[in-house]
């Protein structure tokens, strides 16, 4: 028979036990509306969960497995990549904002599918990105890479791609940054190659490997 142990005034314990089967939980309501439920999901490997509404197993926001792994299935996290080349975007000083053609995942739907991530809540967000450029020439002696956010624009790399380009006239760069964002602030990836003509491409090399990517997630 399902049971919940009574509050133990001596040890200040509260034990909830449904018996042979069923969830063990505490329900937080306001005026009979189910707001959040916390407890152990008997139907999901006895994982501990914090879930929206009035059920464990739907709209889970925080999950602890019986092995201790923690996931946050609804918090913002996205990954976008390029699966096709983008040609002639800079080289002449144009500041190009990368337009990503493929969204690998977008947990919480905060990425617009092309260029812009919008913070749903105020917090600290970690962004990572990598770019592979082609058609660089010796005369292209200046390159800037920027993460453009509402609070500030970070110039995160500056170099001479004309000097250290590969024999195929390619350069690859990557970067990571922890940023403060207010709710509704935006972020995008931009780069700018100077002192040449507008012939610089972002390339995929026709490969299944990912040469250009951008990801971000809410840290805290």
Residues lying near other proteins in the complex (CB under 8 A) are found at 2-4, 6, 12, 14, 16-19, 22-32, 35-36, 38-39, 50, 52, 59, 61-62, 70, 72-76, 108, 120-124, 126, 141-142, 151-152, 154-160, 162-164, 174-180, 218-220
The least CB distance from residue 109 to other proteins, in Å, is 9
The least CB distance from residue 158 to other proteins, in Å, is 5
- Spatial separation of the C-alpha atoms in residues 23 and 18, rounded to whole Å: 7
Q: Which residue's CB is nearer to other proteins, number 66 or number 71?
A: 71
Q: Which residue's CB is nearer to other proteins, number 98 or number 156?
A: 156
- Spatial separation of the C-alpha atoms in residues 173 and 177, rounded to whole Å: 14
- What DSSP character marks residue 8? B
Distances (CA, A) of 106 to 6, 78, 80, 111: 44, 4, 8, 6
The residue assigned the tokens 């624009």 is 153
Q: Which residue's CB is nearer to other proteins, number 46 or number 124?
A: 124
The least CB distance from residue 80 to other proteins, in Å, is 19
- The contacts of residue 124 (CB under 8 Å, 6+ apart) are 178, 179, 180, 181, 218, 219, 220
Which among 87, 89, 91 has a CA at the least distance from the CA of 161?
91
Q: Which residue's CB is nearer to other proteins, number 104 or number 178?
A: 178
Q: Which residue's CB is nearer to other proteins, number 16 or number 81?
A: 16
The least CB distance from residue 185 to other proteins, in Å, is 13
Q: Which residue's CB is nearer to other proteins, number 81 or number 121?
A: 121
- Spatial separation of the C-alpha atoms in residues 28 and 26, rounded to whole Å: 7
Report residue 121 as tokens: 């809540």
Do residues 17 and 26 make contact, with C-beta atoms less than 8 angstroms apart?
no
The least CB distance from residue 179 to other proteins, in Å, is 7
Q: Write phi, then psi, for 63 (nearest 5 degrees).
A: -130, 130
The least CB distance from residue 108 to other proteins, in Å, is 6
């Amino acid at each position: 028979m399902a049971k919940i142990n009574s509050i133990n005034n001596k040890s200040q314990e509260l034990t909830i036990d449904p018996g042979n089967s069923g969830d063990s939980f505490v329900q937080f309501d306001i005026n009979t509306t189910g707001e959040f439920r916390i407890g152990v999901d008997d139907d999901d490997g006895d994982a501990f969960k914090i879930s929206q509404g009035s059920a464990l197993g739907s709209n889970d926001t925080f999950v602890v497995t019986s092995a201790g792994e923690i996931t946050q299935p609804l918090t913002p996290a996205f990954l976008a990549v390029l699966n096709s080349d983008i040609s002639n975007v800079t080289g002449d000083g144009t500041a190009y904002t990368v337009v990503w053609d493929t969204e690998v995942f977008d947990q919480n739907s905060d990425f617009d599918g092309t260029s812009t991530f919008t913070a749903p809540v105020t917090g600290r967000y970690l962004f990572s990105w990598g770019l592979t450029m082609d058609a660089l020439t010796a005369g292209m002696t200046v390159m800037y890479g920027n993460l453009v956010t509402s609070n500030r624009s970070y110039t995160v790399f500056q170099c001479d791609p004309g000097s250290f380009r590969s024999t195929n006239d390619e350069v690859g760069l990557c970067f990571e940054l922890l940023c403060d964002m207010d709710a509704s602030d935006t972020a995008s990836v931009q780069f700018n190659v100077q002192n040449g003509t507008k012939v610089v491409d972002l390339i995929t090399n026709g490969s299944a490997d990912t040469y250009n990517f951008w990801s971000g997630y809410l840290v805290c």
